[in-house]
Every structure is written in C-alpha cells, then in structure tokens.
Amino acid sequence: MDDFHARMEKASVAALWEQEARHNNPPDPAHVWHWDTLSPLLDEAVRQTDMQNAERRVLILQNPSLLEDGRNGAATNLSVNLQILMPGEKARPHRHTMHALRFSLEGDGAVTIVDGKECVMMPGDMIITPGWTWHQHRHDGKERAVWVDALDVPMHSYLETGVFEPGPAKDAVALPPDSAFAPGFTPDMPDAAQRYSPMFRYPWDVAVKALEALPPAADGSRRLRYTNPATGGAVMSTIDCYLLGLEQGKATRPYRTNSNCVCVCMEGEGTSEVGEDKIAWKRKDVFALPHNQWVSHKAASPKARIFQITDREILRRLDYLREDHRG
C-alpha cells in the first residue's frame, strides 16, 4: 500500500474513482412460484410444526435473483410469504412497524382480528394489517386456510426501523366498523390517522363486481385500485394494490416501471412476457415482476384475474416513480 492509500485508510476515507460503478444495474428476471409445488410443502409445514412452537406457520418466498446479490424478499421492497392455519388453530396477537396485508387463497372460516375488528377471510379477500396495529388469526372452519402475506420488511431492514411487540393487544385505536364505509360515503374521522385505510377488509366479491363494471381498455384489460376511502390513495403508505382482469387471447399493452410487483393469479391462466422471458401462470401461482422490465400479459382462459401487490406508492411519494407504455 502506497503512502496516499495508507493515509486514506487511517482517515477512514476512500477514492471514489477507484470504486466499482453500479449506476445502471441490469433488471432482475421474473420468477414464478407454482401452486402445484407450494401446496404439498404447506401440508408438510403442518406436519413439521404446530402453533405452540411457531409465532406464525409461514413459508417465505425467496426470489433467487435477489438471493444471488445477498438480498431477501420476493421482489425489491416486498417480502411475500404463504401462511397456513388449520381448523381450531390460533396465531397469537402481535404488532410491528411494518405494513402488511393478507390475501386469502383458500379456507372456509379463518378470521384476522385487526385492532379489535374481526375480518373474515374468504378466498380472494384482502385484509390489511397496517404498521403498529394489533393483529391475530384464528380458524373456526373445517378446511385448511392459506393466505398470502405481503410486507414492506426489506425497506424497514434497510432503514433499521423494524420494531416488533408481542401481545396481548392494548392501546388499539378505535376506528369505525368496515360496514360504515360505502361507495361515495366515509365516516367523519377528524382525529383519524391518514397513514393507512381505516377499512381493513376488502371482499373479493365486491372487488370483482367493481372490476367488471369498468369499461375495458383498448387491449381488453381492466384494472382496479384498492384505495383508502378517507383519502382516495393507496391502502397503506408503502404498499399499493390492484386487481387486473384480462381478456382471453389478447395481449396487454406493454409497460415498464421502476416499481416492483408481485402477482397472485386468483382465477384463470395465461402467460406474461417479461423482458426476453415468458412465464406461464395459473390459479394460485405467485409471480414477481421486477422493475425496469417491459411486461405484457395474455390470458389463456376466460375471466383471468390477477391480484397485484406493488411498492409503487413508495416511489410515488419520493417523486422517483417512472412508468412507460408502448404500442
């Protein structure tokens, strides 16, 4: 080591011109987790552990392209998991600073309790558990319940702002029941926090009805946003959700964004072109659409519907969001 570098090391500085430049990283490839592979693993998870030994019985979806770079999650800024609860089981209450949502895939009697609100989880329902709200799960039905968990854990890990607190629940903020919200009407909540939606349950049947009422775009697609009824914005400050409906046999207009998306196919089947790759998906498959890739979807069956979880709201709030279309 020459004298200049020795002095820099002693002073805890480095020369910028000697660092590896990483201004334009190549976009990550898409990745799909097939339900045919995941479902047997969930059954095995039940045999491997019970709720006495696990805070939550969860399988973490790990994107191989992120793992190669020492990152975690299903997509940049998004941790996505599968959680399973068997009849008669309960998952004890806790809260954390991370925003989270639950998107139900199957089950006949699971309930998520969020700050005292009981939210039934029927297939296709989305339940939000915003940061620092108390939440717990129980299963009163007769069949296994499985849902997708999505959280902004990677962002909290980077910022070192993750905090966890076990139950019992206390100091919950009293909010109006979800039944008080209707199209065009919102309870007067002068003291309510606006960081997240005060409506915690978004039923699948209501979402599908609203989606079908939309006029189709030129490519035959319909896209519905899940919103905070008090603000009209995203349901939570870091997670923005959509429901995409596709017309059979018609490719959607290609788009590219610097936000990240994880998709859950709830109905139908089809393919997506992501950059130079093509992935196939069907009911209950989960797939990640990384940023800066051109994306187009095509349904191979009628009524293909995809639930989309994105970090778009983070970038929008920072004025970093970029979105392009072509064709």
CATH of the domain at 273: 2.60.120.10
Is residue 23 assigned to a domain?
no
Domain with 146, as residue range(s), is 28-163+200-322
pLDDT the model gives residue 83: 98
Is residue 178 assigned to a domain?
no
Is residue 146 assigned to a domain?
yes
Which residues lie across from 300 on neighbouring strands? none
Residue 189 reports pLDDT greater than 90: no
User: H or E segment at 64?
Assistant: helix 64-68
| Structural domains counted in the chain | 1
Report residue 147 CA to chain centroid gap: 11
pLDDT in tens, 5-39: 999 999 999 999 998 876 777 888 999 999 999 99
pLDDT in tens, 41-52: 999 999 999 988
pLDDT in tens, 141-160: 999 999 999 999 999 999 99
Is residue 156 assigned to a domain?
yes
pLDDT in tens, 191-235: 655 679 999 999 999 999 999 999 999 999 999 999 999 999 999
pTM for this predicted structure: 0.94
For a pLDDT cut of 90, what percent of the chain falls above it?
84
Is residue 75 assigned to a domain?
yes
Q: Rounded to an integer, what distance in angstroms lies between the CA atom of residue 244 and that of residue 38? A: 23
Q: Rounded to an integer, what distance in angstroms lies between the CA atom of residue 89 and that of residue 103? A: 19
Is residue 60 assigned to a domain?
yes
Is residue 56 assigned to a domain?
yes
User: H or E segment at 101?
Assistant: strand 100-106
Is residue 20 assigned to a domain?
no
pLDDT in tens, 279-301: 999 999 999 999 999 999 999 99
pLDDT in tens, 243-261: 999 999 999 999 999 999 9
Q: Which amino acid is at 26?
A: P
